[in-house]
Amino acid sequence: MKLISVEKMKQLESAANGGGYGYEKMMLKAGTNLAQVVHKKYFASYSNVLGLVGGGNNGGDTLIALTELQKSGWTCSAFLIKEDLDLKPLVIKLQESGGKVVDLKVLDQEIEQADVILDGIFGTGFTPPVREPVSGLLKHIGALTEEKTVVAVDCPSGVDCTTGEVSPGTLKAKMTVSMEAIKEGMLKLPAFEYCGQLVTVELGIPKKFTKPFEDNLAVIDPEMVCDSLPVRPLDSHKGTFGHLIVCGGSVNYPGAPMMAARSAYHSGAGLVECAIPERIYEAVVAGNSQSIFTILEDEDGVISENAAATLASKLNDADCLLLGPGIGTEDTTFRFVQRLLFVANGKKQSSGVGFVPSAADKRVEAASKLPNLVIDADALRMLARVDGWEKKLTAAAVLTPHPGEMAALTGLPVVEIQKDRRNIASDYAKKWQQVVVLKGAFTVIASPDGRIALLPYANSALAKAGTGDVLAGVIAGLLTQGTKPFEAALAGVWLHAEAAVIWPEHRFNAYGLVADDIIDWIPYAFMDLPEK
């Protein structure tokens, strides 16, 4: 799905209108496509729809959709919030199709009979607050529609689509059907909480008008995810889907590599090998019988610098290395990471503080060439301790920082990062020449080539220990199968978030969700994708 500012959307529509593709054509296309979405989604269960019709284009879209739905077998009615003479012809067409227009006297009864409510009162140009008498009317309608299926037309009425501000009385939608693109304010809080499922429909604007407004910014949707997934031939074997090594774990965090490995398997990886310190082997193997294991030298339960040569000897046979889950930040582990990342690939390099080349470095250099990488958790913090690491890291990597880890990597305060997540992630992806996944509400995936994908999820269920390990495993699992880094990252964050959404729908609630639950529901997230 595309993302656009309200101002740019106005400019696009104005350019199209001035070029001969008029507002009337856009409105007809918007209303028709809106009706198709509602019919496909709900007609199997519902048959009565009430439209709340405001003025202007939004009201016109709603009236056209009601007319089309009436023709498709729905029973449709419209409540006109205000008189708009420009919409009179559309009102007449609705009535001629068999739909009806109702007044305030019977509004409560109409709401009670309706299965679906189309909220077409205010459009994306609305600026709060909602004034009386509409404010009081919205609050009254809201009290009557709590159990109804509300579909917002372009945006929920009362939402500022630039700032994300929400007016009192704004109806919470189960689905928002946006015209041409998602508006930027809808991916901000609290507006996002009122949007429900986000869907876009085209206005039919010719390419010559849309092209000047196109950029590298997208909102992840199931179609994008589906297009990013690797093909799985029927005559394949485990080798077809790659060999992943998950390196991490420590005496304090023994479960992290296990969760990452299980997630990678659920994402389709053919073979997952866990490279872990000897001290935690028994704990990890008990919960991960599918993986194979490489036992690494340890020091007091953490990976020792001497383990670099052991792991390096395995890397030539790997398609991807996930480095970091539960690894810790002890000095000996830091030296292990330095040797592994900056001596491998046949390039012996000084990598900063505490690095002393040794005979072990020569073994690492001779033994390995780095595969694709996913660098996560404390491995990111150790990376940040290496001066100029971005120039020394020669392998392609997906970096998966949360805001605190991003602060360590960039030197910026967390509060500054959170204020400008999209641009900061993009700027550093270009600077580092690596894919950056800046985790959190509305996760940002940024590519070195300037592409940006935003995840349309903000879910407190994911605010649990271990969920980051699961995400890293999903991304690494897709990367292992040959998916390109940016595509693996965007598909991985969507599958991870979708699993966290559908689990409460079928089980309990967001309070009780733990990382293991997400792993178990990743296969169900795949089932929510369209067929390739």
- What number of other Cβ atoms are within 10 A of residue 20's Cβ? 9
Which one, of 231, 173, 197, lies nearest residue 1 by Cα? Answer: 197
**3-class secondary-structure state, position 54:** coil
What average pLDDT does range 148-177 have in this prediction? 96
Which one, of 465, 471, 515, lies nearest residue 493 by Cα? Answer: 471
Provide the pLDDT confidence category of residue 285 given band limits of 50, 70 and 90: confident
Task: Give the per-residue pLDDT at 348.
Answer: 47
What average pLDDT does range 129-143 have in this prediction? 92
Task: Give the per-residue pLDDT at 367.
Answer: 53
Provide the pLDDT confidence category of residue 286 given band limits of 50, 70 and 90: confident
Q: Which residue has the higher pLDDT, 360 or 227?
A: 227
Task: Say if residue 106's pLDDT is above 90.
Answer: yes
Angle at 369 between CA 366 and CA 371, to 5 degrees: 160
Provide the pLDDT confidence category of residue 510 given band limits of 50, 70 and 90: confident
Q: Which residue has the higher pLDDT, 48 or 459?
A: 48
- How does the average pLDDT of the chain come out, rounded? 93
Please state which of the ranges 221-225, 304-308, 339-343, 439-443 shows the lowest mean pLDDT.
339-343
What domains can you pick out in the chain, each with its CATH number? 3-215 (3.40.50.10260), 226-527 (3.40.1190.20)
Task: Give the per-residue pLDDT at 79.
Answer: 97
- What number of other Cβ atoms are within 10 A of residue 524's Cβ? 15
Please state which of the ranges 158-162, 262-266, 357-361, 371-375 shows the lowest mean pLDDT.
357-361
Task: Say if residue 346's pLDDT is above 60.
Answer: no
Sheet holding 75-80, edge to edge: 100-102, 75-80, 48-53, 116-120, 149-153, 175-179, 197-201
- The percentage of the chain sitting over the pLDDT mark of 90, rounded to a whole number, equals 85
What average pLDDT does range 221-238 have in this prediction? 93
What average pLDDT does range 501-512 have in this prediction? 77
Q: Which residue has the higher pLDDT, 19 or 509?
A: 19
What average pLDDT does range 163-173 have in this prediction? 95
Task: Give the per-residue pLDDT at 82.
Answer: 85
Provide the pLDDT confidence category of residue 364 given band limits of 50, 70 and 90: low
Task: Give the per-residue pLDDT at 461.
Answer: 84
Task: Give the per-residue pLDDT at 347.
Answer: 47
Please state which of the ranges 229-238, 261-270, 354-363 shows the lowest mean pLDDT.
354-363
Task: Give the per-residue pLDDT at 531.
Answer: 80
Q: Which residue has the higher pLDDT, 532 or 287?
A: 287
Task: Say if residue 359's pLDDT is above 70.
Answer: no
What average pLDDT does range 202-215 have in this prediction? 95
Q: Which residue has the higher pLDDT, 207 or 510?
A: 207
Angle at 450 between CA 445 and CA 453, to 5 degrees: 30
pLDDT digit string, tens, across residues 427-442: 999 999 999 999 999 9
What average pLDDT does range 493-517 have in this prediction? 86
Task: Say if residue 135's pLDDT is above 90.
Answer: yes
pLDDT digit string, tens, across residues 51-61: 999 999 999 99
Phi, psi of 259 (to 5 degrees): -65, -40
Task: Give the per-residue pLDDT at 352.
Answer: 46
Task: Give the per-residue pLDDT at 362.
Answer: 59
- What number of other Cβ atoms are within 10 A of residue 427's Cβ? 14
Phi, psi of 366 (to 5 degrees): -75, -25
Contacts of 42 (CB under 8 A, 6+ apart): 115, 116, 149
Task: Give the per-residue pLDDT at 363.
Answer: 59
Please state which of the ranges 86-90, 112-116, 229-233 shows the lowest mean pLDDT.
229-233
Provide the pLDDT confidence category of residue 505 given band limits of 50, 70 and 90: confident
* Token pair of 368 as six digits: 């390995």
The number of residues in the chain equals 532
CA dihedral 247, 396, 402, 173 (to 10 degrees): -120
Q: Which residue has the higher pLDDT, 334 or 501?
A: 334
pLDDT digit string, tens, across residues 385-435: 999 999 999 899 999 999 999 999 999 999 999 999 999 999 999 999 999
Task: Give the per-residue pLDDT at 293.
Answer: 95
What average pLDDT does range 204-221 have in this prediction? 95
Please state which of the ranges 229-233, 271-275, 394-398 shows the lowest mean pLDDT.
229-233
Task: Say if residue 213's pLDDT is above 60.
Answer: yes
- The residue behind tokens 């068999």 is 98
Beta strands in 88-190 (DSSP E): 100-102, 116-120, 149-153, 175-179, 182-183
Provide the pLDDT confidence category of residue 502 given band limits of 50, 70 and 90: confident
Task: Give the per-residue pLDDT at 283.
Answer: 86
Please state which of the ranges 264-268, 354-358, 458-462 shows the lowest mean pLDDT.
354-358
